[in-house]
Amino acid sequence: MTRPIAVVAFAQLPNVRRDTAREETELVQPVINEALEQAKLTRRDIGFTCSGSSDFLLGRPFSFVSALDALAPWPPMSESHVEMDGAWALYEAWVRLQCGDVDTALVYAYGKSSLGNLRDVLAQQLDPYYLAPLVPDSVSLAALQARALLDAGGCSEADMAAVAARSRRDAASNPFAQVKKSRAASQLLDDPYLVAPLRKHDCPPISDGACAVVLAAARSGGERQVVITGIDHRVEPHALGVRDLTRSVSTRRAAEHAGLFRGKVDIAELHAPFTHQELLLLRELSLSDDVKVNPSGGALAANPMMVAGLTRIGEAATRLARGEGKRAIAHATSGPCLQQNLVCVLEVT
Amino acid sequence: MEHCAVVGIGQTQHRARREDVSLAGLLREAAERALQDAELRFQDIDAVVIGTAPDMFEGVMMPELYLSDALGAAGKAITRVHTAGSVGGSTALVASHLIHARIHGTVLALAFEKQSESNAMWALSPVIPFQPQLTAGAGGYFAPLVRAYMRRADAPRHIGHLVAVKDRLNGVKNPYSHLKLPDIDLAKVEASPMLWDPIRQLDTCPSSDGAVAMVLTDARGGAHSPHRPAWVHGGAMRSEPVMFSGRDQVNPRAGIDCAKDVYAQAGITDARKELDVAEIYVPFSWFEPMWLENLGMCAKGDGWKLTEAGVTALDGDLPINPSGGVLCTNPIGASGMLRFAEAALQVRGMAGDHQVDGARRALGHAYGGGSQFFSMWIVGSDKP
Looking at the structure, tell me whether residues A157 and A283 fall in a common domain.
yes
Over the stretch A129-173, which tens digit does the pLDDT of each residue have?
Answer: 999 999 899 999 999 999 999 999 999 999 999 999 999 999 999
pLDDT at B134: 64
Looking at the structure, tell me whether residues B212 and B197 fall in a common domain.
no
CATH number of the domain where residue B50 is located:
3.40.47.10
Residue B2: count other Cβ atoms within 10 Å of its Cβ: 17
Contacts of B124 in chain A (CB under 8 A): 61
Query: Any residues with CB less than 8 A from the CB of A131 and at least 6 apart, and which?
Result: A239, B66
Looking at the structure, tell me whether residues B201 and B289 fall in a common domain.
yes
Residue of A nearest to B92 (CA): A80
Over the stretch B287-321, which tens digit does the pLDDT of each residue have?
Answer: 999 999 999 999 999 999 999 999 999 999 999 99
Contacts of B102 in chain A (CB under 8 A): 98
Q: Choose, out of A82, A85, A92, A236, the residue to mutate when testing the contact with B (most B CBs < 10 Å).
A: A82
Instruction: Show the domain range for A53.
Output: 5-117+206-217
Looking at the structure, tell me whether residues A151 and A193 fall in a common domain.
yes
Taking the alpha carbons of B51, B52, B55, B59 in that order, is the dihedral positive or negative? negative
Q: Choose, out of B50, B62, B107, B244, the residue to mutate when testing the contact with A (most A CBs < 10 Å).
A: B62
Contact between chains at B65 and A79 (C-beta distance less than 8 A): no
Over the stretch A201-248, which tens digit does the pLDDT of each residue have?
Answer: 999 999 999 999 999 999 988 789 999 999 999 999 999 999 999 999
Number of domains in chain B: 2
Q: Cis check for the bond before B198: say yes or no (omega within 30 of 0).
A: yes
pLDDT at A245: 98
Q: Has residue B54 been placed in a domain? A: yes
Q: Residues A123, A128, A134, CA angle at the centre, nearest 5°?
A: 55
Number of domains in chain A: 2
Of the candidates B223, B252, B277, which is a domain's last residue?
B223
Contacts of B257 in chain A (CB under 8 A): 75-76
> Chain-wide mean pLDDT for chain A?
96
Looking at the structure, tell me whether residues B362 and B290 fall in a common domain.
yes
Contact between chains at A56 and B55 (C-beta distance less than 8 A): yes
Looking at the structure, tell me whether residues B173 and B114 fall in a common domain.
no
Looking at the structure, tell me whether residues A69 and A148 fall in a common domain.
no
pLDDT at A257: 98
pLDDT (average), residues B158-163: 98
Looking at the structure, tell me whether residues B292 and B326 fall in a common domain.
yes
Residue B326: count other Cβ atoms within 10 Å of its Cβ: 29
pLDDT (average), residues B197-203: 97
Looking at the structure, tell me whether residues B173 and B95 fall in a common domain.
no
Of the candidates B195, B223, B251, which is a domain's last residue?
B223
A262 phi and psi angles, rounded to 5 deg: -75, -10
CATH number of the domain where residue A154 is located:
3.40.47.10
Task: Give the minimum alpha-carbon distance from B83 to chain A in angstroms, rounded to a whole number.
Answer: 6
User: Is A100's pLDDT higher than 80?
Assistant: yes
Q: Choose, out of A46, A119, A236, A238, the residue to mutate when testing the contact with B (most B CBs < 10 Å).
A: A238
Contact between chains at A76 and B77 (C-beta distance less than 8 A): no
Looking at the structure, tell me whether residues B261 and B245 fall in a common domain.
yes
pLDDT (average), residues A320-336: 98
The rounded percent of chain A whose pLDDT value lies above 70 is: 100
Residue of A nearest to B254 (CA): A76
Looking at the structure, tell me whether residues A63 and A142 fall in a common domain.
no
Looking at the structure, tell me whether residues A55 and A163 fall in a common domain.
no
Over the stretch B180-191, which tens digit does the pLDDT of each residue have?
Answer: 999 999 999 999
pLDDT at A221: 82
Looking at the structure, tell me whether residues B19 and B76 fall in a common domain.
yes
Task: Give the minimum alpha-carbon distance from A243 to chain B in angstroms, rounded to a whole number.
Answer: 10
Contact between chains at B103 and A96 (C-beta distance less than 8 A): no
Looking at the structure, tell me whether residues B165 and B297 fall in a common domain.
yes
Contact between chains at B76 and A238 (C-beta distance less than 8 A): no
ipTM: 0.97
pLDDT at B122: 76
- What distance in Å separates the CA atoms of residue A302 and residue A210, rounded to the nearest whole number? 11
User: Is B135's pLDDT higher than 70?
Assistant: no
Looking at the structure, tell me whether residues B192 and B102 fall in a common domain.
no
Instruction: Show the domain range for B62.
Output: 5-120+208-223
User: Is 0.90 topped by the overall pTM?
Assistant: yes
Q: Residues A330, B105, B213, CA angle at the centre, nearest 5°?
A: 95
Over the stretch B337-372, which tens digit does the pLDDT of each residue have?
Answer: 999 999 999 999 999 999 999 999 999 999 999 999
